[in-house]
Chains A and B, each alone.
Chain A
Amino acid sequence: MKLELRGITKRFGSLVANDHIDLVVKPGEIHALLGENGAGKSTLMNVLYGLYQADEGEILLDDEVQHFAGPGDAMNSGIGMVHQHFMLIPVFTVAENVMLGHEQTKGLGRLDLAAARAKVREIGSQFGFDVDPDALVEDLPVGVQQRVEIIKALSRNAKVLVFDEPTAVLTPQETDELMVIMGQLRDAGTSIVFITHKLREVREIADRITIIRLGKVVGEAEPTATNAELASLMVGRSVELTVHKEHANPGEAALVVKNLSVVDAVGQLVVNSVSFEVHRGEILAIAGVQGNGQTELSEAIIGLQERVLGSITLDGQSLVGLSVQKVLDAGVGFVPEDRNVDGLVGEFTIAENLMLDRSSNAPFVKRGSLQLSYLSTFATEKSKEFDVRSQGIQTPVGKLSGGNQQKVVLARELSRELRLFLAAQPTRGIDVGSIEFVHKRIVETRDAGVPVIVVSTELDEVTALADRIAVMYRGSIVGIVPGNTSRDVLGLMMTGEVPHVITTTDDSEGVLL
């Protein structure tokens, strides 16, 4: 089915998320929609899927104008979507999830689960993936959940399939498998829209590429275009694709973690007997697919986890059982993985956020009262140093872009005397310009002799920054390997396999995008 979008415009208040976007996707092609976070890709697809109503413009399927009042209409017209955050109900079985919304029933209005199971098996066998229709979705690994999403769309005879950032949660191997599935779907005549910000994937699978920046189409490209060309179109200027860093000169071990386990509320070992050391002046990256215990590990170090076994010592001082305040006082700087939840108070100003973790004593508080003039000097200085672009230090942090918010967090954490710097997902959801800046500061922190831990699910970031890489899988560390270990090996380790031969790449400068 041919999909055409003409002049789609969508505004949220004064923000124009989509500005007269035109897009044509031919039957049997994979059309990549490339753009940075916040460029308006997801908004466009939500308009297509009927979740949002466009303010202007029209959607055509096989040259017929469509009017979608809701996702139901879009689905009936043959549009299917594999959402970035899976739209699956965790406590339902695969079959129930697939049938939801177009249920078949038999006598007395009973659900016809047998038919739904057969459908799941039929579509599964067609594309060579074997999904148990009676498994509860919450028990399935993410990669399989994504297949359930695909089955769900195909069970409604989707002719146009939208994949919204489908690889964000996958291991490199699962990504390869997804590419194969997308190829099969294309060969079966499905039109595919592939939304992503990862150049590697686009060049691998796409037939055509449309690039979106700030809500506008800024160009089309062939898959043969180079990374640099695509990146400069996406960002709007030429970007430095590599992180410059010298070889590390590690000092003695500063942070020593021994047999650390974290037990969750139902008794699962979300971190399972983990041991590692971080030396002064090195970056240890903790890699792994989201949800393999990295979050809990970093929270355990900072003192946010309740049930912690084992030991964590920083320069000889034990951190286990200390309050978060004490851990911070011990010189730990922490960039939490979700800055909106844990890192910042959205309604507070930049200045207030900059002193959040030092609200108990001098220099910000004297005799119980805030030292506002000192705070304002400090905030102005730090905003400048960390290139926080805003209307001024009195701007609420919630009004800033993701990249600028992250710079505020970084400014706060790096303006203390640090003995350990722990950054979790430091570049998640921020623009390329800010990514460059954040990476530069992390490397500078390392060069100043501070031990650094970077927790990241982005393999590119891991290989770009790390001096050593610890790969986590199901709460355990699969292995700790040199920073120049090849992506393929890291990918295998992320699935829990311990490679016998470690292959490494020669270049010491990692590639960013």
Chain B
Amino acid sequence: MSDLNSTGIDTGVPNVTQTLDSSGPPTATQHERPDSSNGLEKTVVTSWKAPIAFLAFTIIALVLFVILGRDGSSTFTLSADNDLIQLPDVTVPARVTGIVITVLLALLTVFAYLRVRSDRRVPLWASALLGVLFLIAFLTWVDAGASLPVQVPGLLVGTVSLSVPLIFGALGGVISERVGVVNVAIEGQLLGGAFVAAVVASITGQPLLGLGAAAIAGAAVSFVLAAFAIKYLVDQVIVGVVLNVLVIGLTNFLYSQVLSKNAELLNSPPRFDRINIPILSEIPIIGPTLFRQTIIVYLMYIAVAAVYFALFHTKWGLRVRAVGEHPQAADTVGINVNGTRFWNVLLAGAITGLGGAYFTLGSVGAFNKEMTAGAGYIALAAVIFGQWDPIRATLAALLFGFASNLQNALGIIGSPVPSEFMLMLPYLLTIFAVAGLVGRSRGPAASGRPYIKS
């Protein structure tokens, strides 16, 4: 606290009585403190989490890729046959790659250890690099000696495809939580959207109408959440969970009683066509991944950018965040707290509903029982992992999508890892991401708490 004590001495009060006796009223700035922060002295709480996790990965790499290393070579395909620009396949010797990467991982672990020992944080890029290196080694190990190459474009395209509902769900979650209502009902909104989109698109033959109907369905689920959470002050998490169960039960019932009996009429929606964006779609790897998609995916790009811009740069966003952080303060400047919450929870539901439509109009092509399979909960995890920020939540959703897709890709190659284990991967990653890496992240202060005007 030496700097604070010296502040007192620097200001120089040689004789206190004299200063206090000095005539005339004090001016407003007389005691203005030079520093305007309340920054207290800090001791760094050293967290050994990162180096320990790094070490664990290094040991796994050592065992898997070096000791149990497989001989032969692995091939990575970077272009599809119909691409304009053809990149050559990359072939690497499996065991050597394993050894090299294990050494690199060990170096990263040492780096992390040194950082923490000198009381500094392990930078995020180190964790990201570790993940990428480990992944390359893993894919090389899996593919060693296999007849099929690793299809990199396929891996990435599948990632985007699986991530679309997650990203829409995460955006809905971000808006809802930012305005102060915990949205556990993402799963229900996705499933409701998927169901209604399938039915409406089948009847009308217009996928766009199906998409619109999905948004309305999502908003309808949100309406129940908003009404109970805001008007009747029921615990938001409980309402959310109940809604998920309700939508699952309702769609299961309608599916088995109505849809499966009239599948031709009610459950064979036309799917959106892929639209190739000229030029952009021909960029190697990136083009096929991002720019040969359906309209829902392009809508998603716009939605991510729009939500980000609106949340942090517009009047709407300022008010939404104010209501979620300190509703009473918002009330005292004339903002209608519960009205703002109500409409934005509906908006969040509508956006999530669009993600639901992707199941039936984009990827699968028909409604199935419980086809969202927990995507809503993973989207919720992405919201927290992404620290309530639309861009970061999108990246988190992509990460989860990638983990899900890895399992598919490895199944095709013929992975030595049991497929049941790979099925666990996205959920395992979710738990680690939310529990381990984020630690104590700070959400909107009033999220989950109803605003009761006293």
Contacts and interface: CB of A to CB of B under 8 A. Distances in A.
Do the two shown chains form a genuine complex with each other? Answer: yes
Interface of A: 49, 51, 70-73, 75-76, 81, 83, 86-92, 96, 99-103, 105, 108-111, 127-130, 132, 135, 139-141, 144, 152, 173-174, 176-177, 179-181, 183-184, 263, 265-270, 272-273, 473-476, 478, 488-489, 492, 495-503
A71 B313 CA distance: 25
Contacts of B36: 132, 135, 139-141, 144
B416 interface: no
A500 B332 contact: no
A500 B37 contact: no
B45 to A, nearest CB: 4
B321 to A, nearest CB: 8
Interface centre among A87, A152, A263, A497 (most CB of B within 10 A): A497
Contacts of A144: 36
Nearest to B336: A70
18 contacts: A76-B334, A81-B332, A87-B332, A89-B329, A90-B325, A101-B333, A111-B314, A128-B27, A129-B29, A139-B39, A177-B26, A270-B40, A273-B1, A475-B40, A496-B4, A499-B13, A500-B14, A500-B15
A174 B31 contact: yes
Given A141-B36, A266-B45, A267-B44, A71 B331 contact: yes
A89 B326 contact: yes
Nearest to A76: B334
A157 to B, nearest CB: 14
B327 to A, nearest CB: 10
A173 B322 CA distance: 32
Interface residues of B, number: 55
A130 B33 contact: no
Interface in B1-46: 1, 4-5, 7-9, 11, 13-17, 20, 25-33, 36-45
A130 B29 contact: yes
A68 to B, nearest CB: 11
Report the 5 A-B pairs with minimum CB-CB distance, sorted nearest first: A72-B334, A101-B333, A87-B329, A497-B8, A103-B315
Interface of B: 1, 4-5, 7-9, 11, 13-17, 20, 25-33, 36-45, 310, 313-316, 318-319, 321-322, 325-326, 328-336, 440, 445, 453
A500 B26 CA distance: 21
Nearest to B332: A87
A37 B409 CA distance: 69
Nearest to A98: B333
B334 A70 contact: yes
Contact of B15 (A176, A267, A474, A501): A501
A100 B41 contact: no
A269 B17 contact: no
A476 B4 contact: yes
Given A90-B325, A127-B28, A268 B42 contact: yes
A177 B28 contact: yes
A91 to B, nearest CB: 6
Given A141-B36, A267-B44, A173 B31 contact: yes
A475 B16 contact: no
B121 to A, nearest CB: 11
B26 A180 contact: yes
A478 B7 CA distance: 12
A500 B310 CA distance: 55
Contacts of A135: 36
A100 B330 contact: yes
Contacts of B328: 87
A473 B13 CA distance: 17
B21 to A, nearest CB: 9
A293 B28 CA distance: 26
A450 to B, nearest CB: 31
Given A88-B329, A90-B326, 13 more contacts: A72-B335, A87-B332, A90-B445, A101-B333, A109-B316, A128-B27, A177-B26, A263-B45, A265-B45, A269-B42, A496-B4, A496-B5, A501-B17
B4 A488 contact: no
A173 B26 CA distance: 9
A495 B318 CA distance: 34
Contacts of B310: 109
A50 to B, nearest CB: 9
Nearest to A96: B318
Contacts of B332: 49, 51, 71, 81, 83, 87
Contacts of A101: 319, 330, 333-335
Given A71-B331, A100-B322, A268-B40, A141 B33 contact: yes
A503 B17 contact: yes
A498 B5 CA distance: 8
B314 A269 contact: no
A263 B16 contact: no
B267 to A, nearest CB: 41
B17 A176 contact: no
Contacts of B28: 127-129, 177, 180-181, 184
Interface centre among B1, B328, B332 (most CB of A within 10 A): B332
Contact of A267 (B8, B43, B331): B43
A135 B38 CA distance: 12
A268 B16 contact: no
Nearest to B9: A498
Contacts of A496: 4-5, 7-8
A109 B17 CA distance: 56
A73 B335 CA distance: 11
A110 B326 CA distance: 22
Given A267-B42, A475-B40, A497-B13, A128 B29 contact: yes
Contacts of A96: 318
Contacts of B42: 266-269
Contacts of A181: 28
Contacts of B13: 492, 497, 499-500
Contacts of B319: 100-101, 103
A502 B310 CA distance: 57
Contact of B313 (A110, A129, A495): A110
Given A70-B334, A83-B332, A128-B29, A475 B38 contact: no
Contacts of A473: 4
Contacts of A88: 326, 329
A378 to B, nearest CB: 36
Nearest to A104: B315
B40 A129 contact: no
Contact of A177 (B30, B41, B326, B336): B30
Nearest to B13: A497
B319 to A, nearest CB: 7
A180 B325 contact: no
Nearest to A139: B37
Contacts of B325: 89-92
Contact of B38 (A129, A140, A495, A500): A140
A83 B331 CA distance: 13
Contacts of A86: 329
B352 to A, nearest CB: 23
Contacts of B16: 488-489, 492, 499-503
Nearest to A499: B16
A403 B20 CA distance: 36
A86 B329 CA distance: 8
A487 to B, nearest CB: 10
A75 B333 contact: yes
B273 to A, nearest CB: 31
A469 B293 CA distance: 72
Interface centre among A87, A152, A173 (most CB of B within 10 A): A87
Nearest to A268: B40
A270 B314 CA distance: 37
A435 to B, nearest CB: 26
Contacts of B33: 141, 495
